[in-house]
Structure 1
Amino acid sequence: MQVDLEDRHVIVTGGAGGLGSAVVELLLDNGAKCSVPCFNEDELQAFEHKDHPNVFTHTPVDLTREGQSQSFYEAAVEAHGDLWASIHIVGGFGMGSIEDTPLADFNKQFQLNTVTCYNSCRSAINWMRESDYTGGRIVNIASRPGIEPRQGKGMTAYTVAKAGVAALTEGLAAEVVGDDILVNAIAPSIIDTTANRDAMPDANYGKWPKPAQLASQIAYLVSPENEVTRGGIVPVYGKS
């Protein structure tokens, strides 16, 4: 997919992962400058685009910590200039019936998914308002159970956490539209990644949406070509 992101700075949390790497690759191909926070050194070393001249990385960054999130965004802006867009892919999945999910595990899902998204959105908006750009773009990652909670049987904690991401997206989109910041989310079903194939070896992978397909949807939503879509939670289920 071709969009005009020439020299525009985009932060991609979770950019070293399966979906994140596909997003970063597409953004770089369309001229963007990307900043990617990594939780630890192992994640950084596994990131295939870490040595690209238009990529800024930093580690360790724990996006559940407000201060670390704010510090990363500040360092990224110092490295790559004004912030145009921020894509929030960091998260975590967890199965488990309610009797097998103590409050500590529920809180872990909430921290990994909702809190990281909130901290990233807050940091991004603060820098977008200081930017010389007119407005900006934010894309969050919800999930199918997050917008169809009856799909969340056996993973209620994850479902609630991703529903929080969807609600945050819709509320925030209304809050910042006056700043010309358009906030949206995609809601994938199971993504065709190596980790998901390993976890579900008997599944029909052909029905799962591919990282490159999702990256195209995200790239459009963060592009200047997207002039009107805000508050959307876009279902990206493939054929599953």
Structure 2
Amino acid sequence: MQPDLKDKHVVVTGGAGALGTAVVKLLQDSGASCSVPCYNDDELKSFTFKNNEDAFCQAGIDLTDEEQTQTFYAEAVEQQGSLWASIHIAGGFGMGNIADTPLNDFNKQLQMNTVTCYNACRAAVHWIRESDQGGGRIVNIASRPGIEPRQGKGMTAYTVAKAGVAALTESLAAEVVDENILVNAIAPSIIDTPQNRDSMPDADYTQWPKTGDLAQQIAYLISPVNQVTRGGIIPVYGKS
């Protein structure tokens, strides 16, 4: 079912990636305008919707930097209007058992996943509070290992970083619910993307959740129709 997001402004971090592109397409088809921060020019150049009238895209945004994150959100609101929702897909995956994962690599996972999510949540809450829409929505991206840590064998740093995203979601959801800001997360298993197929050529990717299906789940959670779900870390495993 297509959600009604007419005249809603949504920030999508990681919006130029495989899942992000599916999310932006569905949101724009549903009437929303989208703002997408990109880390570098190459990411922006490959983004399908960069020239759409209802898309504000900007390269050179490091979401691990608090000031850059805050500045992007301020400019997005100036360009696209008051903020209704923010979806935080930006992050990164990393394999490696603990013996092969030095502290620098552990910190990299925390920065890419937990810190980017925290900075985006903080900026989103500020600008949703500044809006005149009586609340808003936030959706984060956790992971299966992040909520089932025993699934994180051989990827401990990534597992801890995504567990941080899950904990942030639950804590923030309780903090802002009285302002009608509903915060949730989805927790995918292995997403069916070209990159994941290339890295696991012998896997049965027919069992993996599809980007379009995940986009539908996210769109529901940020839609005004969602009046009751908050603090949820929703498993979206497909059949895997």
Q: TM-score, normalised by structure 2?
A: 1.00
| Paired position in structure 2 for 1:134 | 134
* 1:117, distance to aligned residue in structure 2 (A): 0.1
SS in 2 for 1:83: coil
* 1:131, distance to aligned residue in structure 2 (A): 0.3
Residue type matched to 1:5 in 2? L
Residue type matched to 1:146 in 2? G
* 1:157, distance to aligned residue in structure 2 (A): 0.1
- Separation in 1 of the partners of 2:25 and 2:128? 23
* 1:46, distance to aligned residue in structure 2 (A): 0.5
1:55 partnered with 2:55: yes
* 1:178, distance to aligned residue in structure 2 (A): 1.0
Q: Show structure 1 runs of 4+ deviating over 2 A.
A: none
| Paired position in structure 1 for 2:183 | 183
1:3 partnered with 2:11: no
1:64 partnered with 2:60: no
- Separation in 1 of the partners of 2:196 and 2:69? 28
* 1:33, distance to aligned residue in structure 2 (A): 0.3
SS in 2 for 1:87: strand
Q: Aligned ranges for residues 88-107 of structure 1 at < 5 Å?
A: 88-107=88-107
| Paired position in structure 1 for 2:108 | 108
Deviation by residue 1:1-56 (Cα, 9 ceiling, x = unmatched): 31110010000000000000000000000000000000000000000010111000
| Paired position in structure 1 for 2:171 | 171
Residue type matched to 1:192 in 2? D
SS in 2 for 1:108: helix
| Paired position in structure 2 for 1:125 | 125
What 5-or-longer segments of structure 1 have no aligned partner? none
* 1:230, distance to aligned residue in structure 2 (A): 0.1
Residue type matched to 1:56 in 2? F
1:39 partnered with 2:39: yes
> CA-atom RMSD, angstroms?
0.4
- Separation in 2 of the partners of 1:138 and 1:157? 25
- Separation in 2 of the partners of 1:97 and 1:114? 19
SS in 2 for 1:183: strand
Q: Aligned ranges for residues 139-150 of structure 1 at < 5 Å?
A: 139-150=139-150
Q: Aligned ranges for residues 147-162 of structure 1 at < 5 Å?
A: 147-162=147-162
Figure out how many residues of one structure are paired with residues of the other and give that number: 240
Deviation by residue 1:174-199 (Cα, 9 ceiling, x = unmatched): 00001110000000000000000000
| Paired position in structure 1 for 2:235 | 235
Deviation by residue 1:73-105 (Cα, 9 ceiling, x = unmatched): 000000000000000000000000100000000
Deviation by residue 1:133-157 (Cα, 9 ceiling, x = unmatched): 0100000000000000000000000
What 5-or-longer segments of structure 2 have no aligned partner? none
* 1:59, distance to aligned residue in structure 2 (A): 1.3
